[in-house]
Structure 1
Amino acid sequence: MGTIVSVHSFNQKQAAAIQEACPGYRYVDVSGFETEEARAALKNAEIILGFNRDVLKIIYADDNQLRWLQNLGAGVDQIPLERLQSLGVMLSTASGVHPNAISESIFAMLLSLTRKVHAAIRNQQTQTWKPSKETGEAHGKTISIIGAGAIGTETAKIAQAFGMRVLGIRRTGESAQWFDAMHTVDRLNEVLAQSDYVVNCLPLTNETRHLFGGEQFAAMKTSSIYINIGRGGTTDTAALIDALQQGRIAGAGLDVFEQEPLPKEHPLWKLENVILTPHETGNTPYYMDRALTIVIENLKHYISNGKPCRNMVNWQTQY
């Protein structure tokens, strides 16, 4: 009998669905437990659902039984890909869970920075009546979405409702619905120069690390707003701070950072033209239900075909 171990908590109904999808397998939930029994279950697991420090230890253990790791998040930059590849362990993600929540957060930041709602909220804290003379409009503007996956596509769809011109950057350059034009990354600076809003939806890979640096912020309009909901490491933080302080871009909405949690003394906290959220744009009460749909589909395919069918990580592209 094979063993499936989850390190994240599914409710009773969700756990029953997992067990039903895998007759002949034993399902074990070790979320919140740091016991010898939990560690033994992980060590003997054929399939692990989720990733944490305990799973990391199992990956590096020489005698683990792991054949497939189903990450319950979309990003894999914290997971040792080379080690999994060397072990012959398959890795899949929960990509597709986030589009609704994150696209809404993107537009919450975009509209707040454009209409100066963030400034009004800060003034409210000090009971200061200070109407802004610099409110703008998003309608009819140009937005570039860097990383045109599921989140980027949902964001593009919403942008079309504002009559925005939507430009995209993706590795293949292949066109996609809701985008007016799609380009490859070699045209990034050209796209940035046209954009009123730049939305970074990129995963963190060897190719995307510090993709946004001084050169890219210099290419952007001084009136442009930069939003990063992808990964903090895709942006050179020092270059971003310099661009914000020197007025080379107008503002930023940031949910991800090179260092998390963001230290209390970090200069980003005090910049008036920045909205910060603590890596939470993907949070939603529907998260585990949506993740479960992917997990069940992958489990059924694994049982019948020996591998998952959705969101298999490509070792070369690192996502």
Structure 2
Amino acid sequence: MKILFCGEAFPEARTRLAALLPDDEILAFPPDKLGAHVAEADVVVPLVSRVDEAFIRQGTFGLVQQYGVGLETVDIEAATRNGVMVARIPSEESGNAASVAEHAVLLMLMLSRRWNEIVRTQKQGVQATWGSPPGQALPGKTVCIVGLGGVGRELARRLAGFGARIITVDDHPGRTVPGVEIARSFSLAGLHEALAEADYVALCINYTPDRFRLIGAKEIAAMKNGVFIVNVARGGLLDPDALLSSLKSGHIAGAGLDVFWEEPVDMTHPVFRENVIATPHIAGVTDVSYEGIARAFAENIRRYKAGETPLYLANAPARLRTAGPGLTEA
């Protein structure tokens, strides 16, 4: 079976899969070379590349299997129409949620302790005053976690250990985190009210088209002065122009970004001249998450080859374009 990665990023993923799937061929090409190879693929791994109807019709593959959670670049309706199954790997099932939450805490701490200022002073060779700059600590600060899915719950567990006051915004406002005190819970309709309380805003919510720029100028205006924003979900949730304006004015004290409005992002963008800590979409790139994702991915490939229904499907085509024994084929 040929498994086509739509991009050459995350090479460790392919290395781990090769060890788990020794009888299968794993291919990877940059987006501009995919057209020449999609026809030979049995399984497509989108990563951050667009899998639309035109792309689907170029091949005969029967499964789009994401190496992780995000399916925002996949036209699921088109896949369903064409009899192609689409599957993801839930973050809590793989250890990915724990890794992303850990990274969110890292970004919060770096912003709190004025990391950019420390690094800038060191690079300039300036003799800084010993014991400077002063930072702020998390105990007693209010963190608004937007999205209480796998990553949000893992982040809440970690922040509780720091003594932070946790409030949440979620499309399922009744969700809780066992063993963690949530000071206040809001629905998405109460987003502005929640943002007004926050010293830190952590974006952990799943991205869908209706959440494009969920955090824009109006939402930022609802935040208190000096707030920090951390985005470890998807770049489309945060309006970069509104972010830049608020960083320049000082309304937002700093931003920690692991995801961006375009990827790979242009690091000459003016937002990076402000107090922004940027990491290259690596929040979930750890030994723990790679191991968990690889195992779950390999299990789905095994199920697909055996004609069994893959786990964690995002759609349910009535008939399948390509199927193994035991599945209904179109």
- Name the TM tier (shorter chain): 0.7 to 0.9
- Please report how far the alpha carbon of residue 61 of structure 1 lies from its aligned counterpart in structure 2 after TM superposition: 5.0
- Please report how far the alpha carbon of residue 104 of structure 1 lies from its aligned counterpart in structure 2 after TM superposition: 2.0
Which range moved further: 159-168 or 170-179?
170-179
- The aligned residue for residue 259 of structure 1 is 262
Which range moved further: 219-228 or 87-96?
87-96
- Please report how far the alpha carbon of residue 289 of structure 1 lies from its aligned counterpart in structure 2 after TM superposition: 1.9
For 1:73-92, what aligned pairs fall within 5 Å after superposition? 73-92=68-87
- The aligned residue for residue 245 of structure 2 is 242
> Does 1:274 pair with 2:260?
no
- The aligned residue for residue 196 of structure 1 is 199
SS at match of 2:226: coil
In 2 relative to 1, CA 78–141 (structure 1 residues): closer, same or farther, beyond 3 Å?
Answer: same
- Please report how far the alpha carbon of residue 205 of structure 1 lies from its aligned counterpart in structure 2 after TM superposition: 1.4
- Please report how far the alpha carbon of residue 94 of structure 1 lies from its aligned counterpart in structure 2 after TM superposition: 2.5
Deviations 1:90-148 (A, max 9, x none): 21113314223222221111111112233112211112233545521111211111111
Letter in 2 for 1:41: E
Counterpart Cα distance in 1 of 2:61 and 2:51? 12
Counterpart Cα distance in 2 of 1:41 and 1:286? 32
Letter in 1 for 2:40: A
Letter in 1 for 2:26: D
- Please report how far the alpha carbon of residue 166 of structure 1 lies from its aligned counterpart in structure 2 after TM superposition: 1.4
- The aligned residue for residue 232 of structure 2 is 229
- The aligned residue for residue 176 of structure 2 is 176
RMSD: 3.0
Counterpart Cα distance in 2 of 1:293 and 1:59? 31
- The aligned residue for residue 164 of structure 1 is 164
- Please report how far the alpha carbon of residue 18 of structure 1 lies from its aligned counterpart in structure 2 after TM superposition: 3.9
Counterpart Cα distance in 2 of 1:52 and 1:120? 35
- Count of residue pairs brought into register by the alignment: 300
Counterpart Cα distance in 2 of 1:168 and 1:270? 30
**Which structure is richer in relative contact order (CA contacts within 8 A, separation 6 or more)?**
2
Letter in 1 for 2:248: Q
Pick aligned residue for 2:64 from 64, 69, 82:
69
Counterpart Cα distance in 2 of 1:250 and 1:218? 13
Letter in 1 for 2:24: Y
> Does 1:313 pair with 2:314?
yes
Deviations 1:35-55 (A, max 9, x none): 99955531xx2xx15226999
- The aligned residue for residue 106 of structure 1 is 104
* Structure 2 segments unaligned to the other structure (5+ residues): 6-10, 317-330
SS at match of 2:256: strand
Deviations 1:261-293 (A, max 9, x none): 33343111211x221222222222344321122
> Does 1:29 pair with 2:26?
yes
Counterpart Cα distance in 2 of 1:149 and 1:83? 26
Decide whether the 8 Å contact of 1:142 with 1:164 is kept in 2.
Answer: yes
- The aligned residue for residue 123 of structure 1 is 121
Counterpart Cα distance in 2 of 1:146 and 1:17? 35
Counterpart Cα distance in 2 of 1:80 and 1:152? 26
> Does 1:93 pair with 2:88?
yes
In 2 relative to 1, CA 156–138 (structure 1 residues): closer, same or farther, beyond 3 Å?
Answer: same
TM-score normalised by L of structure 1: 0.82
- The aligned residue for residue 285 of structure 1 is 287
Decide whether the 8 Å contact of 1:301 with 1:308 is kept in 2.
Answer: yes
* Structure 1 segments unaligned to the other structure (5+ residues): 20-25
Letter in 2 for 1:268: V
Q: Percent identity?
A: 26
- Please report how far the alpha carbon of residue 211 of structure 1 lies from its aligned counterpart in structure 2 after TM superposition: 0.7
Counterpart Cα distance in 1 of 2:34 and 2:245? 47
Counterpart Cα distance in 2 of 1:245 and 1:36? 42
- Please report how far the alpha carbon of residue 58 of structure 1 lies from its aligned counterpart in structure 2 after TM superposition: 9.1
Decide whether the 8 Å contact of 1:90 with 1:307 is kept in 2.
Answer: no
Counterpart Cα distance in 2 of 1:188 and 1:237? 19
